[in-house]
Structure 1
Amino acid sequence: MALTAAAVLAAAVLTGCAGDGDDGRTTLSVGTFGVFGFRQAGLYAEYERLHPDVRITESVIERNDTYYPQFLTHLVTGGGLADIQAVEVGDIHDLARDLGGRLTDLSRAPGVRAGTWLPWKWAQATAPDGRTVGLGTDIGPIAVCYRKDLFRRAGLPTERGAVGRLWAGDWHKYLAVGRAYRDRAPAGTVFTDSAAGIYNAAIHGYPERYYDRAGRPLYTGGPAVRTAWDLAVRAARDGLTARLKQFEKPWDQAYANGRFATVACPPWMLGYIKEKAGDAGRGRWDVAAAPRPASWGGSFLTVPRAARHRAAAVALAAWLTAPEQQARLFERQASFPSTPASYAMPQLRGARNAYFGGAPVAEIFAEAARRAPTLVTGPREQLIGTAFTDVGIAQVEQQGRAPEAAWAAAQQEIENAVDE
């Protein structure tokens, strides 16, 4: 129904919209960071076929830390904006709170229904005044990817159900499995890639992470922060990690070399592993349920109020994020939908990943998505999380610094960020 309404709206809007191209077509611009897959999955071409008066252009900036500051500058000045602008989940709260008035309230858009999205995904882009400034694209429900061949050599179970039961319900059990692996590890291998990966996977399983529901800060020692920190520090000090920084070249090389046996693994990590581990990793990797349901990552589409073709952009954003299109993106890009109706569609129903031993990835990730908590968000969350992972935990893992001193360094970094 949402898809049909959005298509009808688009047709109505565009019929009365003066063309701005040489051929009389209306050009809608989309600004993203990284690859969202809309073009690769053929969605732009499909929309243009359904709406012959529309042309869609896309501008891509590879890294969000470059893209987002530029977007904020344009949003404040009201110039240089695309009709649709993507926003990463770590930025959406501050954007809705501080600059939500410069964005279209998409909760009022024809054809848009809050119930189309997972409740916690919709809530992430909703400001305190009830305005919803972004429509959810993908999400990052967490599983654990593991090397069956290394588990076998360490005397551990290899069947994904049995592996998931080893640590079900508690990340402390995951570390216990890690210590069992360490004691019989194949030469040159360790249990997991990084302490920061454990921290991120663990903390996203709690609804109140850096702030409570009243907006009070918890980053100075709340239960979620302390639990995730202690897990990460224990993993580092017990020699369970490869002491790598994620998304840097040595981490990429470690996949190719079979350096570690497990990694906390949202859906977007599957393609990354396949690319970096290559043919040598085919059939050796598998996917099991994580100890606790959580979601790490994901994005939104927003429509600035200053967009040149605002009404038409709203219609396109609604269409791109509708369940049918999200299912197609999963099939083409492995982006996991934030719309539950997608999970029963042919592209996901029974979907298995051949590279990962035929793992039923849609089933595993859908279960985690349904059970993931609604996260309470607050100011500077992206910077707060980075202070813990890239400053505090890195000092313990990389430099061997005492946890107390590393914690103090992270807190100082957070204080500086929050007071900016």
Structure 2
Amino acid sequence: MRTTRKRTMRHPLRSRPAAYGLVAVLGAGLLAGCAEDGGGSDSGDGKTTISVGVFGVFGYKQAGLYDEYEKLHPDIRIKENSTERNEDYYPALLNHLTANSGLSDIQAVEVDNINEVAGLHSDKLVDMSKVDGVRKSDWLEWKWNQAKAENGQVVGLGTDIGPMGVCYRKDLFEKAGLPTDRDEVGKLWEGDWSKYVEAGEKYMKSAPKGTAFMDGAAGLYNGAVSSYPVKYYNAAGELVYKKSEAVQESWDLSMRAIKGEMTGKLKQFDKEWDQAYANGDFASVVCPPWMLGYIKEKAGDKGAGKWDVAAAPKPANWGGSFLTVPKGGKNEKEAVKLAKWLTAPEQQAKLFEKQASFPSSKAAYPLPEVKDAKHPYFDNAPIGKIFSAAAEGIPTTPLGPKDQVIKTTISDIGILQVEQQGKKPEEGWNAAVKKIDDVVED
């Protein structure tokens, strides 16, 4: 039996915000170059080299999982081909899938791209649901279904997810007259994102000088819209964002936050956002597990003990990826074994403990690495329990081929025009719609 001693996150920095390609992947030319020698082969010493194509930092190497697998399988060598940003990696991956050449033995796919991959290229990928030893019941149902093609084939196995919480500054909340205990803070807005905005209105009445309640309206929008069962596409695959309740209500909330001057007018992952953490310029941010390490890095020692984590108003997801195995590769059989092993509950739990990548395998949640996880920087917040509870409640949301484009355009064009340029809400919305219509067919 394994002991159930309390666990703390040892290396919480996650430098791959899996969602929306915000911080993440390889250049097309670089990927192509890697793929040429990456399609697994004999290494020359009698070992078989399995190539793994990823974007950003998936953490397998850093957590020692590749080394562990190679020790378990002395005849296998693993070579990771990593592109820094998903916006470079994904177009190149599509090109390689279309040409059916130049592919790594295993290819990672980001959640906002998995629907397009399943729709266009399921015939070129192994059906992972048919792999011996793969149990659907190990995964959260909504995660499993995200990788399912229309013909029922499951094109990839889920790696991580990004159940959302709200990270907040206890010292700033206290000065503004808001509760600081994480359970009481969660009750402030429990069940409704509009209550989060109401808390912001209360904060701003007594806000410490020079601070805002939240970093930016786009973070609020992202959290709110992701908590609905239908966002940009419906179950029939139809584009519905213009009349979507999720989009309309989340947009209105973000506009309310801007009008109430409760945002720092910051664009996430810009230098100004990073600096605002160090300066203590805002009191809260919607945060998935992988963001905790980012906050720790940017807020630094001055922020230690001041940050905490509370449950989000409603369960929502930001981020996550899948491992796919292209058909017909020289090492397809061994690649399937490796993909299955890397996404098994035990490995997902280890990855969370060492890299803060939250498991998409619900079978990992009772394991001590997850169940007992606490984060010392966030006042020993029981992040395993907080994010496990959120993960279980995330709705099954239909994905479409252009989810990422729509989401990013609404945030980076629509919301930012209102927030940073002072345009009217209808002007920001119309600008976003025009841009989306230019690239997405209705």
TM-score between the two structures when normalised by the length of structure 1:
0.94
Tell me which residue corresponds to 2:264: 242
Tell me which residue corresponds to 1:20: 42
- The residue correspondences of 1:334-413 to structure 2 (distance < 5 A) are 334-413=356-435
Per the TM alignment, residue 78 of structure 1 is displaced from its structure 2 partner at its CA by 2.0
Amino acid at match of 1:292: K
Which sections of structure 2, spanning at least 5 residues, go unmatched? Answer: 1-39
Tell me which residue corresponds to 1:319: 341
Task: Please tell me whether the aligned partners of residues 113 and 401 of structure 2 are also in contact (alpha carbons under 8 angstroms).
Answer: no
- The residue correspondences of 1:86-165 to structure 2 (distance < 5 A) are 86-165=108-187
Per the TM alignment, residue 81 of structure 1 is displaced from its structure 2 partner at its CA by 1.1
Amino acid at match of 2:106: I
Task: Please tell me whether the aligned partners of residues 84 and 307 of structure 1 are also in contact (alpha carbons under 8 angstroms).
Answer: no
Measure, in 1, the Cα distance between the counterparts of 2:310 and 2:64. Answer: 31
Q: Once the two structures are superposed, what CA deviation does each residue of 1:13-62 show, in whole Å capped at 9, x if it has no partner?
A: xxxxx971111000000011010100111100010000000000101111
Amino acid at match of 1:61: T
Amino acid at match of 1:192: M
Task: Please tell me whether the aligned partners of residues 78 and 306 of structure 1 are also in contact (alpha carbons under 8 angstroms).
Answer: no
Residue 54 of structure 2 aligns to a residue whose secondary structure is strand
Please say if 1:44 is aligned against 2:66: yes
Residue 348 of structure 1 aligns to a residue whose secondary structure is helix
Tell me which residue corresponds to 2:313: 291
Amino acid at match of 1:221: K
Please say if 1:73 is aligned against 2:121: no
Per the TM alignment, residue 215 of structure 1 is displaced from its structure 2 partner at its CA by 2.3
Tell me which residue corresponds to 1:225: 247
Q: Once the two structures are superposed, what CA deviation does each residue of 1:148-181 show, in whole Å capped at 9, x if it has no partner?
A: 0000111110000000000001111100100111
Per the TM alignment, residue 410 of structure 1 is displaced from its structure 2 partner at its CA by 1.1
Tell me which residue corresponds to 1:212: 234
Per the TM alignment, residue 220 of structure 1 is displaced from its structure 2 partner at its CA by 0.9
Tell me which residue corresponds to 2:10: none
Tell me which residue corresponds to 1:189: 211
Tell me which residue corresponds to 2:280: 258
Amino acid at match of 1:240: M
Measure, in 2, the Cα distance between the counterparts of 1:19 and 1:187. Answer: 61
Residue 220 of structure 1 aligns to a residue whose secondary structure is helix
Per the TM alignment, residue 306 of structure 1 is displaced from its structure 2 partner at its CA by 4.0
- The residue correspondences of 1:298-317 to structure 2 (distance < 5 A) are 298-317=320-339
Amino acid at match of 2:256: R
Task: Please tell me whether the aligned partners of residues 141 and 369 of structure 1 are also in contact (alpha carbons under 8 angstroms).
Answer: yes
Per the TM alignment, residue 394 of structure 1 is displaced from its structure 2 partner at its CA by 1.0
Amino acid at match of 1:383: V
Residue 355 of structure 1 aligns to a residue whose secondary structure is helix
Aligned residues: 403
Q: Once the two structures are superposed, what CA deviation does each residue of 1:44-90 show, in whole Å capped at 9, x if it has no partner?
A: 00100000000001011111001111111111112221100111000
Greater shift in the superposed pair: 229-238 or 141-150: 229-238
Per the TM alignment, residue 217 of structure 1 is displaced from its structure 2 partner at its CA by 2.1
Tell me which residue corresponds to 1:199: 221
Measure, in 1, the Cα distance between the counterparts of 2:403 and 2:41. Answer: 41
Tell me which residue corresponds to 2:36: none
Identity over aligned residues, as a percent? 58
Residue 377 of structure 2 aligns to a residue whose secondary structure is coil
Amino acid at match of 1:371: G
Amino acid at match of 1:21: S
Amino acid at match of 1:236: I
Measure, in 1, the Cα distance between the counterparts of 2:335 and 2:159. Answer: 15
Measure, in 1, the Cα distance between the counterparts of 2:147 and 2:73. Answer: 28
Residue 168 of structure 2 aligns to a residue whose secondary structure is strand
**In structure 1, which of residues 54, 62, 68 is the aligned counterpart of residue 84 of structure 2?**
62
Amino acid at match of 1:276: K
Measure, in 2, the Cα distance between the counterparts of 1:114 and 1:314. Answer: 16
Measure, in 2, the Cα distance between the counterparts of 1:412 and 1:19. Answer: 47
Tell me which residue corresponds to 1:3: none
Per the TM alignment, residue 110 of structure 1 is displaced from its structure 2 partner at its CA by 1.1
Per the TM alignment, residue 307 of structure 1 is displaced from its structure 2 partner at its CA by 2.8
Amino acid at match of 2:420: Q
Please say if 1:84 is aligned against 2:106: yes
Measure, in 2, the Cα distance between the counterparts of 1:379 and 1:29. Answer: 27
Task: Please tell me whether the aligned partners of residues 306 and 378 of structure 2 are also in contact (alpha carbons under 8 angstroms).
Answer: yes
Residue 390 of structure 2 aligns to a residue whose secondary structure is helix
Tell me which residue corresponds to 1:13: none
Measure, in 1, the Cα distance between the counterparts of 2:134 and 2:85. Answer: 29
TM-score between the two structures when normalised by the length of structure 2:
0.90
Residue 27 of structure 1 aligns to a residue whose secondary structure is strand
Task: Please tell me whether the aligned partners of residues 206 and 373 of structure 1 are also in contact (alpha carbons under 8 angstroms).
Answer: yes
Task: Please tell me whether the aligned partners of residues 41 and 330 of structure 2 are also in contact (alpha carbons under 8 angstroms).
Answer: no
Greater shift in the superposed pair: 160-169 or 227-236: 227-236
Tell me which residue corresponds to 1:416: 438
Amino acid at match of 1:45: D
Residue 69 of structure 2 aligns to a residue whose secondary structure is helix
Per the TM alignment, residue 419 of structure 1 is displaced from its structure 2 partner at its CA by 3.1
Residue 275 of structure 1 aligns to a residue whose secondary structure is helix
